[in-house]
Copies of this chain bind each other. A is one copy, B any other.
């Protein structure tokens, strides 16, 4: 019983990248197969995704969206219709060239995203203003032929949702773009306990084919950024390319305005890298598949049964480890898996009518009368959820730096990881120079700023912007 699961985890201070993959494996989240670049999402990892999907799908439906399922293949000619889009995606698509024993007349890509499929469909079903807004979402798998892959962060196959909506006016489309950005913020802050910065991508970093892209940016424990979701305003670019029109109330033809927005299993990567520690995963209670790990020590069935009964009544998910492994091994395993609460029900504690409760986020232990355990657990789950967000927010804020001039920027970039907040002139030349000098990329523009100077070129600024290294 010496190979405690968490003893196999590299310390995050020693090698954060190694720590990350160790946790992914040790917590049974993923595994590899002979399919290069793809991962197996194991039941425990998939259960986290199912919980996220369940929360988000309700949010989508509450905001009037319906789910749909489009084909997974895109014929080359359809893919080629919107020029910027093709240029953006062509280098990273998988090509199907043969079906059964016959070579295809027209080869097809496996969808890397489905804008063109939705546009083709929208052209058929949008006729009048009565058909708008059209608020569609799709849960599916997409494929992008990445060279280097990491579990949840970058994979050739990605589980995601993609929203695609059409609106009669620019204003409505922009409203939708920002509404869904806020839905993502809500999900990430209030369920995943991830403090996020929302803002606009620069021209250079926006989605291929979009007029404007908005982003939800999280900072990992090591100060590196992860783009956790995007919401795009397309204007009428795709609609014009696909010749989508509708009759307005005056019976005149108009072109509608479009949005798209998506999040992926990458958010699970954020959860791991924001909350995890050297003992393993730490899951926010609201999306943890198992909220309480019960570890009986000795003959305690009578009390155990009563506690289990109460947990069931209150619909709190739990697991009971009755295997013949040692208590120490079981504690370690519960920590690796990131169960929010560990409940130790021991024969000796019970002599004093007590059980031991351990919070996974702080590893704090406390004893409590066993009859009060479940109501304490209920409270604690809420506290843990709140505390995890606050703890992550404090750490993130402590790694956000202001830089007034380029020397300061270079100094911070050289010595620290984190986000650097500066004024920026809006020119791609400065964006490129910063990236070249420091590997920092623009994360997002958060507001207009006209009374300061660009941190790079010193000319009059236009925006306040965050910079950071990224996964």
Contact = CB atoms under 8 A, between A and B. Distances in A.
B120 A78 contact: no
A228 B120 CA distance: 32
B34 A46 contact: no
B120 A33 contact: yes
Contact of A34 (B41, B49, B50, B75): B75
Contact of A98 (B42, B66, B95): B95
B121 A31 contact: yes
B40 A69 contact: yes
A308 interface: no
A412 interface: no
A159 interface: yes
Interface of A is mostly: mixed
Given A33-B70, A41-B69, A69-B41, A96 B99 contact: no
Given A35-B74, A121-B33, A95 B99 contact: yes
Contacts of A136: 43
Contacts of A47: 66-67
Interface in A122-165: 124-125, 130, 136, 140-141, 143, 145, 156-157, 159
A154 to B, nearest CB: 14
A378 B145 CA distance: 52
A41 B110 CA distance: 18
Contacts of A31: 121, 124-125
A93 interface: yes
A43 B66 contact: yes
Q: How large is the interface on A (under 10, 10 to 19, 20 to 34, 35 or more residues)?
A: 35 or more
B68 A117 contact: no
B46 A69 contact: yes
B97 A157 contact: no
A92 interface: yes
Interface string A85-99: 000000111111111
A100 B156 CA distance: 11
A356 B31 CA distance: 58
Contacts of A91: 100-101
Count identical subunits in the complex: 2
A160 B106 CA distance: 27
A72 interface: yes
B40 A71 contact: yes
A434 to B, nearest CB: 28
Contacts of A143: 72
Nearest to A120: B33
Interface string A420-435: 0000000000000000
B46 A67 contact: yes
A38 interface: yes
A50 B139 CA distance: 11
A42 B124 CA distance: 12
Interface string A337-378: 000000000000000000000000000000000000000000
A445 to B, nearest CB: 30
A94 to B, nearest CB: 5
Interface string A101-115: 100000010100000
A465 to B, nearest CB: 31
A97 B93 CA distance: 11
Contacts of A98: 94-95, 97
Q: What 6 A-B pairs come out closest when comparing CB atoms?
A: A38-B71, A43-B66, A95-B98, A35-B71, A99-B145, A41-B69
Interface of A: 31, 33-36, 38-43, 46-47, 49-50, 66-75, 77-78, 91-101, 108, 110, 117, 120-121, 124-125, 130, 136, 140-141, 143, 145, 156-157, 159, 323
29 contacts: A31-B121, A31-B124, A33-B117, A33-B120, A34-B75, A34-B77, A34-B120, A35-B71, A35-B73, A35-B78, A35-B108, A35-B117, A40-B71, A40-B121, A41-B69, A43-B66, A43-B136, A46-B66, A46-B67, A46-B69, A73-B94, A73-B157, A91-B100, A92-B100, A95-B97, A96-B96, A99-B156, A100-B145, A110-B110
